[in-house]
Structure 1
Amino acid sequence: MTRSIRITALYSASLAGLLLLSACGKNEPATPASTPAATSTAAPTPTPAPAASGTAAAAPVSSTAASAAPAASVAAPVAAAPAEAPLTVAKLTLGNDVNAQHQVTRASSSFAPDNKMIYASVATEGRSGGATLNAKWSYLEGQGQLVSNISQSIATDGPAVTTFKVQNPDLWPEGKYRVEISLDGKSVAKQDFEIKKG
């Protein structure tokens, strides 16, 4: 009986040793700990086109891509893209000279009859892939005669300045005038000015 216990123990030890040795040589592919989630990429924002006449440099545009998060971990909530602020007219300034950024250098509401050019500098805020700014210049004396009606397309990704001008090679008639700015057909700003001597 002692002999059969020894033989059984010997066979069991031999079998266990063989199993251990055979397990050491196995090359099973490792199973992935987690499966990566799909990668989401934000589409690049189109570079805005400059306004037809004098748009100041807009803020730089960049694109981003969200990195993949493992499925096993809890994904952080994706922040929604900020809502694009619609294009609005922030300020209208009149003058007889503009700088390199198309801004009126000295605001005025009174001009001399021999002043050849009058500028309207329109500062806008917000974003637009394509909007239309219009400047309607009128002589208010008598029947409100139309002097000029100019439109410009504007595409911007931030603050910008668009300049309109009227010119008269002759003397301007004295009296009261008005410039009215419209954005996509809707009146958004107006300013009265006067042409007078001295």
Structure 2
Amino acid sequence: MAAAAELFAERGLSVPLEEIADRAGVGVATLYRRFPTRADLAAAAFERSITRYTEAVDRALANPRPWEGFRALVFDLCELQANDAGMRDLLTTAFPTSSAIEDRTDEAVEKVKVLITLAQAQGSLRPDVVVADLVVLLLANAGVLKATGNAAPDAWRRFAALMVDGFRAQPDAQPDAPLPPAPHEQQLRRSIALLTGERYP
């Protein structure tokens, strides 16, 4: 499991199973016998990460101030993506409905729906926000992380803060906190070079 978790964290869920087997020092057939599908392997390798995801949802729902819980959840999920390429994929990948991953994430999604309803009843969250909007945000954040990489590793923080403000029911209200710093021009140029495959001095 350590080999799979390491490679998934480094490069995401698209790592060839042959490479995982090679690092683990086992044959591909052995890997397939233990884990018939990539989803099964990911569920085992990311047990701890999935737990961090579900715990973030539970913390948000337990917050007595639903808007603060929702805001914290957005940042927690974006940070999980930033710290782990495999988790980045995991939060934005559709797995078979029978997989262990799907079972756990389905339960978390139902809790997020409750959190959204509570924040909307409080009057802090836009009344038209749905769970799909959070999924789109995570897809967008995955793109930000892929584009900026090590060139501007904290760029996601400002993006997440701006997105959270977009969810507010009162857009003219004072921001919850100052925006994190914007990436420097040099960081952006390096990020664009990484995205396009060009060399940057």
What is the TM-score of this pair, normalised by structure 2? Answer: 0.24
- Higher Cα Rg: structure 1 or 2? 1
Whose strand proportion is higher, 1 or 2?
1
Instruction: Return the TM-score normalized by structure 1.
Output: 0.24
Of Structure 1 and Structure 2, which has the larger fraction of its residues in helix? Answer: 2
